[in-house]
Amino acid sequence: MKKQHIQIGDEGFIFKGFANDIAETLVDTIKELTAMSPLRQMTTKRGYQVKAEMTSCGHYGWVSDKQGYRYEVLDPLSQQPWPDLPEIFQSIAASAAGQAGFDHFKPDACLINHYQPGVGMGLHQDKDELDLSHPIVSISLGVPAIFIFGGMHRNSEHNFYLLEHGDVAVWGGKDRLRYHGIKPLKLSHHPLTKQSRYNLTLRKTGYIS
């Protein structure tokens, strides 16, 4: 049966409950990954603290500090390579990307964000990947959040969508560089994540691996 989807752009979709069947395994896997490369708060170039806690897995991890943001092969905290991208992350991402019309998506990086009540993420573009022909695949776990999906400019008109546990959003092609963000999380509870929300964003950086 085809799962319900919401079209958020010409090449952007939210597949409701797409990861429901494996959501518990995804949360358990996140816990294993964060035991190796812990969640941490990063700083921006200007010295501000990023409110959501972050870590990565895959060949490249996303890092931000006073030098700016970039992909790195070593976790600066552990000085070790980031944990491998779990097979289950790759397969759910490839299958959601396929549903959105992007075949053969093979991510090489996954950013793991962790939000507590009151924490959101400001509008930004995901533009640090070299090959923008691949989509972004974003998996939501835990308490719900409001996704802000804008246009090609920071001040373009934007829409709001509910992202719930198990939802998978995919945006690529014409929509790949659209500004997006997350509204500060409302106080809520989920049996697997307590008051918090995890988000996995899977990317193909296009760097040589």
Q: Of 8-16, 42-50, 54-62, 123-131, which segment contacts Fe ion by CB under 5 A?
A: 123-131
- State in angstroms the smallest separation of the CB of 124 from Fe ion: 6
Q: Is 175 in the site for Fe ion (CB under 5 A)?
A: no
- State in angstroms the smallest separation of the CB of 126 from ligand SIN: 6
Task: Show Cβ contacts of residue 208 under 8 Å, excluding neighbours closer than 6 positions.
Answer: none
**Nearer to ligand SIN (CB atom), residue 20 or residue 80:** 20
- Number of amino acids touching Fe ion (CB under 5 A): 1
Distance CA 123, CA 87 (A): 30
On the 0-12 / 13-18 / 19+ scale of CB atoms within 10 A, 189 is exposed
**Binder to Fe ion among 126, 129, 167, 175 (CB under 5 A)?**
126
**Nearer to Fe ion (CB atom), residue 108 or residue 126:** 126
Q: Is 196 in the site for ligand SIN (CB under 6 A)?
A: no
Residue with tokens 């409001």: 146
182 binds, among ligand SIN, Fe ion, none (CB under 5 to 8 A by kind): ligand SIN
| Distance from the first to the final alpha carbon of the chain | 36
**Residues in the chain, overall count:** 209
Q: What does 11-55 look like in DSSP terms, one character per residue?
A: TEEEETTTTGGGHHHHHHHHHHHHHHS--B--B-TTSPBPSSEEE
Task: Show Cβ contacts of residue 46 under 8 Å, excluding neighbours closer than 6 positions.
Answer: none
Q: Is 178 in the site for ligand SIN (CB under 6 A)?
A: no
113 binds, among ligand SIN, Fe ion, none (CB under 5 to 8 A by kind): ligand SIN
Q: Is 205 in the site for ligand SIN (CB under 6 A)?
A: no
Q: Is 56 in the site for ligand SIN (CB under 6 A)?
A: no
**Nearer to ligand SIN (CB atom), residue 77 or residue 162:** 162
- Closest residue to Fe ion, based on beta-carbon distance: 126
The tokens describing 4, both together, are 């319900």
Cβ–Cβ < 8 Å for 141, 28: no
Q: Which residues contact Fe ion by CB under 5 A?
A: 126
The contact set with ligand SIN (CB under 6 A) reads 111, 113, 121, 138, 140, 147, 163, 180, 182, 199, 201
